[in-house]
Amino acid sequence: MIMKRSKEKELLDLGPGFYTEEEYSQCLKLLFKVNKILGFFRHTVKILQKFPKNTSVVDVGCGGGLFLLHLSKHYPDMQLMGIDISEEAICLAQNELQQWQQHKANINVEFQLQQQTEFTMLPDSVDIVLMTLVCHHIDDNELVSFLEKAHNAARKAIIINDLHRHTLAYWFYKILSPVLFRNRLITHDGLISIQRSFTRSELHFLIKQANITNYRIKWHFPFRWNILILKE
């Protein structure tokens, strides 16, 4: 077991000076494949089945937008919005949306740049807040504040998909990722992501620190967490 969460920053968090445009664009596309391989996408589709067809969802840290665009194929009536603090990511997401609209004009998805690094959505402004592979980028104290604000913003639920910090996960990824993903950001940052991720006890502690009580944490193979927070 990797005993403590790492505080090392990922290249993605350090900014454009640490990677090329081509690496970044390819990375965001590969991340959706990672989400599918790990089961995050499939599990999110399953959870959303419990909510009304016209539910509004905000995907925080939406990256290149592929997660939301593919969700729209399963839930065409949901109001889907992706936000990200990266102008590069939003530009790529909007370009991807335009390509999708050439084949289907009425896609109910939009993307917006999050102007501030802090989560600033108004209370009760959206039904569901979705966060996939976002929380491990945030240090503990900031994450507690982030969860509090997300809880205030969501009318119905928060869905969190993230990684389980475990030595086996680290070594499996170290061996397999260079073969599966020929992208420096994916292979390098993926290992740091695992080191920055969470044990079950840490998740319980952080969620309770945010004064959230109605939640469930589920572990899924391979080494991933799904957290569903429901508004009482």
Instruction: From first to last of the 232 residues of the chain, give the pLDDT tens digit.
Output: 688 999 999 999 999 999 999 999 999 999 999 999 999 999 999 999 999 999 999 999 999 999 999 999 999 999 999 999 999 999 999 999 999 999 887 899 999 999 887 888 999 999 999 999 999 999 999 999 999 999 999 999 999 999 999 999 999 999 999 998 989 999 999 999 999 999 999 999 999 999 999 999 999 999 999 999 999 7
Could you tell me if 128 and 154 are in contact, meaning their C-beta atoms sit under 8 angstroms apart?
A: yes
pLDDT score for 208: 98
Tokens of 126: 């959206």
DSSP-assigned beta bridge partners for residue 16 = none
CA gap 127, 108 in Å, rounded: 15
CA gap 32, 92 in Å, rounded: 13
Tokens of 84: 């990200």
The terminus-to-terminus CA distance of the chain in angstroms comes to: 35
DSSP-assigned beta bridge partners for residue 198 = 164
pLDDT score for 105: 78
Positive/negative CA dihedral, 32, 228, 90, 135: negative
Strands 109-113 and 79-84, sheet pairing:
parallel
Structural domain spans, the chain: 11-230
Specify the fold of 11-230: Rossmann fold (3.40.50)
Nearest C-alpha neighbor of 147 from the set 126, 111, 115, 118: 118
Strands 224-230 and 215-220, sheet pairing:
antiparallel
User: Which position has the token pair 């640490």?
Assistant: 18
Three-state SS at 142:
helix
The DSSP result for 22-53, as a single string, is HHHHHHHHHHHHHHHHHTHHHHHHHHHTTS-T
Three-state SS at 174:
helix
Nearest C-alpha neighbor of 113 from the set 91, 145, 135, 136: 91
pLDDT score for 204: 98
